[in-house]
Structure formats: C-alpha cells, structure tokens
C-alpha cells in the first residue's frame, strides 16, 4: 500500500525542475572540442608566422603538404606545433574537460537552488520545529532546484501520511523514507551527468601525454643513430620538443580533469548530505508528533 502511494508524487520533482539541467550528450561536446582543437592547432599554432622562413614556404600550410619542407620553430607556438598529431588529441581532451566543467558548474548551481544549502536547510528545520508544513513547502517553492524538489516531494508525502488513518505509524514512516529515496534517485542522474567522462579523461589525458612522449623519444633516438656524420641535430631537437610538449599537455589535461572531478564530486556529496539532513528532520518530526 505504501508502494502505491509512493507512485503518486513521483512526477512532482521532474515538473518543478527548472533552469539549466545539463548537456545530455557528452559525445557532442567531445566532437565540437575535437574540431576546435584541430582548428587551433592548424590555423593558430601551425601558422607560418611561428616558423623561421615561413614567409618563403608559399601557402600557409604548404609545409604540411610537402614533406620536403622542414621549418624550424621561431617561437613557443611553433615548438608546440612540432609536438605532432598527438597534440590536438590531447587538446581535445583538455577542451572537453573545460567545457564539461563549465556545463557541470551551471547544472549543479541550478540543482542547489537560489539560496545556499546551509540557509535552506536551516529554514526547513526551523519550519519543521514549528510543525509548519505549509511554511516549509513555501520555502521549497522559493528555493527551487533538486534539493527543494526532493524536500517538497517528501513534505507532500508527509501530508498524505498525516491524513492517512489506515496505515500504522511504522508504515507511514517507511513511506516517507521511501519517498525521500525515490525523489533523490530521480534527481541524482542529472547531477552526475558527464562526470564519468571527466573521470575517464583523468587517466586518458595522462596516458595520451605519455604516448606522445614515447613517440618523441623514438624520433630523438632515431635521429641520434641515423646519418653518416652523427646525429641529426634538427631531428633530435624536433623529437625532444615533441616529447616535452606532449608530456606537458598530458599532465595539464590530467590535472585539470582531476581538479574538476573532485570539485564537483564534493559538491554533489554536500548536496546529498543536505538531503539526508533534511530528510532525517522530516522523519523525526513525523515520529515525534504521531
């Protein structure tokens, strides 16, 4: 019977959800970031102005089409370009992390609601202490967001159980607790959207940087062993540049992804803790007054 009642308000949290709730397709973000990374790599860092004697190479990217033309970097951007094809791959991961981190910022901020969680929880607990459920519901309506949706659904179940004369007290408490869990389960997927992608990039970014480093070192050792007159200094420098650029890019990507993932995981944990705190207060209020 408690299960039947629990079905009634399930749609309430979804209807109250307003504002930015996140990007559902993380793949589209990655594709867009890949296009951006390639464009920045080719048209920005690959510009002939970043290479010595680039003005004499003809078209802006003739050195890409003609393998016989080798241009030496004139600045840091040219050196980064020499990092090779792994660079735009790592940049794709980096841009994806930044884009998804911004997306999570707005989505989780919407989930938190208008006021800080601490103030919202304090107001709800104060209303419950006065046994003023209507006031608590008004606070939820004004707050909005995922937390307010869950609390509002739980308060609605509280009122149903308050008017119910068939179920026992234990069954009513169980029904309120179940509503809290079900409403929370409806909101949590939205909060955790795209976080698995960021968690994957934490490792993938570092691995791609290591992959680029290995390729650069292979080129360096090939330059050292090749040629009749000893090592090819130009090829050796290119290989070392490729290794270092990819190492730096991979480490930076992994670091940004780690920070973003831990930050938003902590924000979600705080939100969950607030839900548990308010839910416990609602259940305890019902238990003390019935």
Task: Name which of 9-18, 163-172, 254-263 the model is least confident about.
Answer: 9-18
Phi and psi torsions of 51, nearest 5°: -130, 150
pTM of the model: 0.78
Q: Which residue has the tokens 């207060």?
A: 281
Mean pLDDT within 189-202: 89
Question: Residue 95: its pLDDT value, please?
Answer: 95
**Predicted pLDDT of residue 261:** 94
Q: pLDDT band for position 232 (50/70/90)?
A: low
Return the closest-CA partner of residue 16 out of 183, 193, 265: 183
Instruction: Quote the mean pLDDT of the chain.
Output: 80
Instruction: Return d(Cα 155, Cα 233) in angstroms, integer.
Output: 74
Which of 234 and 74 is assigned the larger pLDDT? 74
């Amino acid at each position: 019977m408690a299960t039947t009642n629990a079905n009634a308000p399930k749609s309430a949290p979804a209807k109250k959800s307003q504002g930015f709730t996140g990007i559902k397709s993380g793949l589209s973000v990655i594709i867009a970031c890949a296009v951006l990374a390639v464009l920045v790599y080719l048209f920005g860092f690959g510009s002939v102005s970043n290479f010595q004697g680039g003005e004499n190479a003809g078209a802006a990217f003739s050195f890409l089409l003609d393998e016989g033309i080798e241009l030496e970097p004139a600045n840091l951007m040219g050196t980064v370009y020499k990092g090779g094809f792994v660079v735009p791959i790592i940049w794709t991961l980096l841009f994806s992390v930044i884009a998804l981190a911004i997306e999570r910022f707005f989505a989780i901020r919407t989930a938190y609601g208008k006021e800080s969680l601490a103030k919202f929880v304090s107001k709800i607990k104060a209303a419950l202490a006065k046994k003023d459920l209507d006031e608590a519901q008004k606070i939820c309506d004004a707050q909005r967001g995922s937390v307010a949706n869950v609390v509002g659904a739980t308060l609605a179940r509280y009122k149903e159980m308050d008017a119910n004369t068939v179920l026992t007290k234990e069954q009513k408490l169980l029904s309120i607790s179940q509503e809290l869990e079900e409403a929370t389960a409806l909101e949590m997927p939205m909060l955790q959207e795209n976080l698995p992608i960021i968690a994957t990039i934490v490792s993938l970014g570092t691995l791609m940087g290591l992959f680029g480093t290995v390729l650069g070192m292979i080129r360096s050792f090939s330059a050292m062993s090749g040629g009749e007159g000893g090592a090819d200094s130009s090829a050796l420098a290119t290989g070392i540049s490729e290794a270092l650029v990819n190492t730096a890019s991979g480490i930076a990507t992994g670091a940004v992804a780690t920070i973003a993932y831990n930050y938003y995981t902590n924000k979600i944990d705080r939100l969950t803790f607030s839900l548990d705190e308010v839910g416990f207060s609602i259940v305890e209020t019902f238990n003390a007054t019935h």
